């Protein structure tokens, strides 16, 4: 039964979608079945794989509006990553975004039913949430086993951590008592900068064991992912960002299954 992890941030530009794409790719390369789900109406997740919103191809919006079944909206992400699948959100207009929010607010059980139908086929399900703590993010937290929070190595990003924790606590109290913390991931680190070292120290002091040991560096190759329409590990395994996401995948798997992992 797959672990469902919501990737959440209140701040944009912290590496949330990049983490969904690249962590998912690395977990799949270590022979885990991974599904990525887009919950952000901006559609950054699907654009990272060349799947822009299209009414000729159904997505999560059509499933939640009962125009398609979950089996109709699962797509292969990359030919070199056969264990990595994607469900795009497929919201193409402001009206559809408003309709999506309405469905999630008034029919909370629909997203849960979708999640329960697809869980058995995957080891990990990563949900890319909007850079807000509003209805889509709350809906994802309500069905998730846990949540992962990317924290950019800047004080403006660190300041939002408390808001995310409070929002998750509210969901845990009212909708999902089993919701746990998957981890806080430091991203876009420049270890040459003094403030970066200070942010890393303060985050680890505050979050303790909830902060991953792996730190994602600032890497131009990761920024190329949307243009190349593939994860960084698929086109440059030697880049600092690629190595960091590989390390993160191994750290995650090492929690329950220590030992050297085999790559495809």
Q: What is the pLDDT of residues 208-257, one digit of tens each?
A: 889 999 999 999 999 899 889 999 998 988 999 999 999 999 999 987 54
Residue 264's pLDDT band, with cuts at 50, 70 and 90, is very low
pLDDT tens-digit series, residues 34-67: 999 999 998 899 989 988 766 678 999 999 999 9
pLDDT tens-digit series, residues 128-137: 999 999 999 9
pLDDT tens-digit series, residues 3-38: 999 999 998 889 999 999 999 999 999 999 999 999
Average pLDDT, whole number, for the chain?
A: 89
Domain ranges in the chain? 3-254
Residue 260's pLDDT band, with cuts at 50, 70 and 90, is very low
In the structure encoding, which two tokens stand for residue 140, read together? 């994802």
pLDDT tens-digit series, residues 154-208: 777 777 888 999 999 999 999 999 999 999 999 988 877 777 888 888 888 888 8
* CB neighbour class for 209 (10 Å; exposed up to 12, middle 13-18, buried from 19): exposed
Its pTM surpasses 0.85: yes
> Which residues, 6+ apart, have CB-to-CB distance to 58 below 8 Å?
67, 68, 72, 73, 90
**Contact at 8 Å (CB) between 18 and 148?**
no
d(C-alpha 112, C-alpha 51), whole Å:
24
**Contact at 8 Å (CB) between 215 and 245?**
no
On the question of pLDDT at 261 being above 70, the answer is no
d(C-alpha 150, C-alpha 8), whole Å:
7
First to last CA, the chain: 22
pLDDT at 257: 43
pLDDT tens-digit series, residues 59-118: 999 999 999 999 899 998 878 888 999 999 999 899 999 999 999 999 878 999 999 999
Closest CA to 14 of 181, 128, 169: 128
pLDDT at 89: 93
Q: Is the dihedral of CA 200, 201, 206, 210 positive or negative?
A: positive
The 8 Å CB, 24+ separation contacts for 237-240 are: none
Could you say which of 1.25.40.90, 3.40.50.300, 3.40.50.2300, 3.90.550.10 is the CATH number of the domain covering 3-254? 3.40.50.300
> Which residues, 6+ apart, have CB-to-CB distance to 161 below 8 Å?
149, 151, 184, 203, 206, 207
**Contact at 8 Å (CB) between 181 and 40?**
no
The H-assigned helical ranges of 30-146 are 44-47, 60-64, 94-106, 108-118, 135-143
The 8 Å CB, 24+ separation contacts for 61-64 are: 61/89, 61/90, 61/91, 61/96, 61/99, 61/100, 62/90, 63/87, 63/110, 63/114, 64/100, 64/103, 64/104, 64/107, 64/110, 64/111, 64/114
**Contact at 8 Å (CB) between 211 and 186?**
yes
């Amino acid at each position: 039964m797959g672990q469902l992890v919501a990737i959440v941030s209140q701040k944009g530009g912290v590496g949330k979608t990049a983490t969904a794409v690249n962590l998912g790719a690395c977990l799949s390369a270590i022979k885990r079945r991974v599904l990525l789900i887009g919950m952000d109406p901006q559609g950054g997740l699907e654009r990272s794989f060349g799947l822009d919103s299209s009414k000729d191809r159904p997505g999560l919006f059509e499933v939640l509006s009962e125009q398609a079944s979950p089996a109709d909206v699962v797509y292969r992400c990359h030919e070199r990553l056969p264990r990595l699948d994607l469900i795009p959100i497929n919201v193409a207009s402001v009206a559809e975004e408003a309709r999506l929010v309405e469905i999630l607010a008034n029919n909370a059980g629909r997203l849960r039913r979708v999640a329960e139908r697809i869980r058995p086929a995957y080891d990990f399900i990563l949900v890319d949430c909007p850079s807000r703590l509003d209805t889509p993010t709350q809906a994802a937290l309500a069905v998730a086993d846990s949540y992962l929070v990317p924290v950019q190595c800047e004080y403006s990003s660190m300041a939002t951590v408390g808001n995310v924790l409070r929002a998750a606590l509210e969901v845990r109290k009212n909708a999902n008592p089993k919701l746990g913390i998957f981890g806080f991931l430091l991203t876009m680190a420049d270890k040459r900068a003094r403030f970066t070292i200070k942010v890393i120290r303060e985050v680890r002091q505050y979050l303790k064991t909830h902060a991953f040991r792996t730190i994602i560096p600032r890497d131009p190759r990761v920024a190329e992912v949307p243009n190349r329409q593939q994860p960084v590990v698929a086109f440059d395994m030697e880049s600092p960002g690629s190595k960091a996401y590989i390390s993160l995948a191994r750290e995650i798997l090492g929690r329950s299954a220590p030992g050297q992992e085999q790559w495809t």
